A = this chain, B = another copy of it.
Amino acid sequence: MTNSRYEYVREFERENILLPETHIIIRVDGRGFHKFSDRYSFDKPNDERALKVINLSALQLMKQMPDIMMAYGDSDEYSFLLRKQCDLFERREFKLITTFSSTFSAYYQYYWNQECSDKPLSVERLPTFDARAVVYPTDDTIRDYFRWRQVDCHINNLYNTTFWNLVVKGGMTPKEAENRLIGTLSSDKNEILFEQFGINYNDEPEIYKKGTTYIRESIPDTTGSSELSKRQLDRLQKKLRKSEIKELHGDLIKDEFWNSRPWLLS
C-alpha cells in the first residue's frame, strides 16, 4: 500500500496478537448448514459424500499448513490444533481466522464440485464457514477441548440416528420424532434404536460415532525448543510439511490417545 495524506486512517486499525507459548485452536464451523443439507438433499442422518468432502478439506488444509499438528471434526465443523511455538502470521488473530475460514471454504467448494458434480452448487447457497481462535495455556485444557468436541459429536450423532430412524423407517413426522425424543436419555435412545429398528448403536460406523481425527506423525526432536534459529525453523517447517498425516476414528477421551502421542502437545 502506498503513502498518501489519507493514510492516517490506518491508525484506527486494531490488532490482536494471540498469547505466545500457548496452543492455538482454530475451529471452523459451517454457516447455515442445516439449510445447506436440505438444499442439496443430504442423506440422513449422515451423508457419506458430504463427510468425504469436509474431511478432504481438512486434510488439504493440514497439508498446506505445517503448523497444524492435529485436526478433529464431524458434521459441519473442524478444529485445528497449532503447535505451541507456531508463529504463523506472527499469531495475528484476524489473519489466522480469516485465512482458515476462507481457505477451508475454498477447499470445500472445490471438493464438492469434484465429489458431488451431480448436485451443482447454486450461488444462492454456497458452502461457507466461520472460524474462531482460542488459546489454551495447558495440556489438560487442550485434551479437554477435544474431549468436549468428541462428546458433542457422540451426543449429536446418537440423537440424529434415532431421530432419522423414527422419521424414515418409523414414519413419524419430524415434529413427532422431536417430541418423542424430548427428555430421553442416551439409554432411551439406544433402546428405541434396538427395540424399534433392530439397530445396535455400538455397531454404527466409528466415523459417525467418534468423528475424524488427523494427526501429524513422526515429529523431529526440535519441536519443543522455543529458541530456534531461522535455519532450524526452516528445517523444522520442511520436516513438518513432509511428515505423514494419519486418519483415525478413535477415542480422544481416554488418556491413552494423548499419552502415546506426546509430540502433539510438546
> Which residues of A come within 8 Å of B, CB atoms?
1-2, 4, 6-9, 11-14, 16-17, 19-22, 31, 60, 93-95, 97-107, 109-111, 113, 121, 123, 126-138, 141, 144-145, 147-148, 151-152, 155-156
* Interchain nearest-CB distance for A185 vs B (Å): 13
Across the interface, A12 reaches (CB within 8 A) one of B94, B102, B134, namely B134
Instruction: Please state the number of chain copies in the assembly.
Output: 4
Known A-B contacts A22-B137, A110-B109, A137-B22; the reply to A130 vs B6 at CB < 8 A is: no
Query: Which B residues touch A16, using CB under 8 A?
Result: 16
Q: A106-B126, A110-B126 are in contact. List 14 more A-B contacts (CB 8 A).
A: A4-B155, A12-B135, A14-B134, A19-B135, A21-B136, A22-B137, A31-B102, A60-B123, A99-B128, A102-B128, A102-B130, A106-B106, A109-B109, A110-B121
Secondary structure of the A contact surface, majority rule: helix
Query: Which B residues touch A127, using CB under 8 A?
Result: 106
Interchain CB contact under 8 A, B2 and A11: no
